[in-house]
Structure 1
Amino acid sequence: MKTNPDLAGVAWRKSSYSDGGEDNCVEVSDGFPGAVPVRDSKNPEGPVLLFPAAAWSDFIGGVRADRLR
């Protein structure tokens, strides 16, 4: 059985890839082995997406290599 991590009280940080504009800020939280919680900073009480760490790493690699346009 899979369980979701308890995200109450976690520290969130804005992604360094967010451009700082009000319309596209992503926040991530560290410290969850094997997973990366991601949320929209405009809606901090809204849903959280939970990505497998390997998938998030691949995504960030694609962003850094400018392959996602």
Structure 2
Amino acid sequence: MEEGMTYEKAYKELEQITTEIENESITVDVLADKVRRASELVEFCREKLRSAELEINKITSQSDSQISAK
């Protein structure tokens, strides 16, 4: 994935690809490339969500530990 890619940018590009495929506005010649790119974007978004979930769980766990220690 290119540097500087964010979840929001990836999601927007994924929406655009989905719309193009649904509207049949792309040719068969580029369909495989679009599907490949969509697959990369989905994996990128999943990883970002997993990472955010882990970070949130870590923060809430630390918070819970601090509250229990008081």
TM-score (norm 1): 0.30
Q: Which has the higher contact order (CA 8 A, sep 6+)?
A: 2
More helix by share: 2
TM-score (norm 2): 0.30
